[in-house]
Amino acid sequence: MKPSELDSIKVAVGNGRAVISADDSIIIAMMLETLKSGRSATFYVPPAQAQAVMRSYYTPRRVKEIGMETVSKEERRKIESELGVKDMGPMFSNRIQCACGGIYGAFEFMDQGIRQHGREWVGAVVELKKTAVLRINPTQDAFCPTCGDILITGHWYGMHAPNGTLIYGCCSGPDVFAM
Ligand SMILES: [Zn+2]
């Protein structure tokens, strides 16, 4: 590690956030342990580490149970044209249906993310190279785009670069190893 690379670590730690450097297996074990504990954390890690966790979480059975789907090209185009977020690549998301009929999927998730964090932040995440953002047991609630009611069903997502590298994803549920 170059001395200049310590600067960003200084900033993060100065802001009260820990930065950990360890072997892949340690970091993956930490992420799985966090997942299992039900506690919430965001990991900024090399994509291969996040992908290892995503793979162990999104088993075919879980994908089916959650209703995880490939986000259509049309929806990705709508995210780009209406929300101004550059299309990254393959996206997966479940779609939550509200009692009022409103639907919450990838588009609504991105829309809500922009409103909460700003377009610059979302754009910067998309532009991160060689860093995947993995939200474990995220605490963010989803709200129906039509009636504004809070949606009790969780929202899951995975966003990838065109080559399949994970950019942004989530996994949640302490029951992960119960299945
Ligand atoms: Zn609704």
Q: How far does residue 30's CA lie from ligand 1's centre (Å)?
A: 37
Please provide residue 49's backbone torsions phi and psi, each rounded to the nearest 5 degrees. Answer: -70, -45
* Ligand 1 center–CA 108 separation, angstroms: 12
**Where do the structural domains in the chain lie, given as residue ranges?**
24-177
Q: Distance (Å, rounded) from C-alpha 94 to C-alpha 81?
A: 21
**Phi, psi (5° rounding) for residue 26?**
-70, -45
pLDDT of residue 98: 95
The rounded Å distance from CA 68 to ligand 1 centre is 20
pTM: 0.89
Ligand 1 center from residue 153 Cα (angstroms): 12
Q: How far, in Å, is the centroid of ligand 1 from the Cα of 75?
A: 20
CA of residue 96 to ligand 1 center, whole Å: 10
pLDDT of residue 179: 42
Q: What are the pLDDT tens digits along the chain (179 aa)?
A: 788 889 989 999 999 999 999 999 999 999 999 999 999 999 999 999 999 999 999 999 999 988 999 999 999 999 999 999 888 899 999 999 999 999 999 999 999 999 988 988 888 888 887 899 999 999 888 999 999 999 988 899 999 999 999 999 999 975 654 44
Nearest alpha-carbon partner for 90 in 70, 113, 119, 108 = 70
Distance CA 148, CA 102 (A): 9
CA of 103 to the centre of ligand 1 (A): 8
Ligand 1 (single-atom ion) residues, CB below 5 Å? 98, 100, 102, 144, 146-147, 149
In DSSP notation, 73-99 reads HHHHHHHHHHH-----S-EEE--EEPT
69-87 burial, b for 16+ CB within 10 Å, e for fewer? eebeeebbeebeeeeebee
Å from CA of 74 to ligand 1 middle: 23
